[in-house]
Amino acid sequence: MSSSDSQTTRRRPDTGQLVASERLHTMGQLVAGVIHELNNPLTIVGTNLQVLVEYVQQQQELIDRYENQGPEAAKAYAEEIDLPYLRTDLPRILSSCQEGALRARQLVDELRRYSIANSPEVTPVDVKGNLSSTVRLVESSYRNKVTFELHTEQCPPVMGVNGQIQQVLMNLLINACQAMNDRPTMGHISIRTRGDGTNVYIEIADNGPGIPADVLPRIFEPYFSTKSPADGTGLGLPISKRICEKHGGSLVVASTVGQGTTFTITLPVEGSPELLADPSLPYEV
């Protein structure tokens, strides 16, 4: 084995560990955002349940008075509790509880899917659904800093590894959000998809500060990063680019200082022979 081969062999575990570490770091950010986001629907459900308990008690009292004191006593109590309003409000309260519980379940399900999306299996990937789910997760962490605009055409599924494609989307969206952390006003991210029958294209554009001309050529270099060490390993973009290439596609960037940055993902519908031969995450970049 040559010296370079030996060095490559020694580097692989370190690179894999760094990628795993970055994924865990991302998970930590998402968990914090999801916990905060869960407060809203759970608060709604909790408040509504208190009202429902009161309504149930009133209806039980109405039944008891009818059985023990007769129709006239029940009628008087019905007027006291405004029974027509109660009957109108009850479906609204139940519907609100259902909506809150559904929102909470969706957030937990999306986080769970991202956390376990490690299976290197090539399957048809629903780009639109994958993108919508990823945006909802990221949005939960950056709702007060960034607005999201999603325009998704009905694209055909692409042959790929679902977890890897989601990892690329997650990396790009979080990078865009972090780039706008210091804006005095809300940042904005526009996501668009389209297909031409052969490829699916995903465009992620932000109105952040843009990437300086001397930095732009280096953003896909392994370990190069303008972030602090606590915010990443410098492998997010290189791994994302390598995933796209392994899927037979590409990841390109265009940026103007002061105007923003646009990343464009191209994924072939049919996948690639390289991916079918080895669908594992490409640690070598």
Question: How many residues would you count in the chain?
Answer: 285
- Of 268, 281, 280, whose CA–CA distance to 127 is shortest? 268
For residue 4, the model assigns a pLDDT of 41
Is pTM, for the whole model, over 0.75? no
- CATH of region 123-277, choose from 3.30.565.10, 3.30.70.1060, 3.40.50.300, 3.40.640.10: 3.30.565.10
What percentage of residues in the chain have a pLDDT greater than 90? Answer: 43
Highest mean pLDDT among 1-5, 8-12, 37-41, 54-58: 54-58
Domains of the chain, residue spans = 40-108, 123-277
Does the pLDDT at position 221 exceed 70? yes
> SS3 sequence, 57-105?
HHHHHHHHHHHHHCHHHHHHHHHHCCHHHHHHHHHHHHHHHHHHHHHHH
Confidence grade of residue 281 (pLDDT, cut at 50, 70, 90): confident
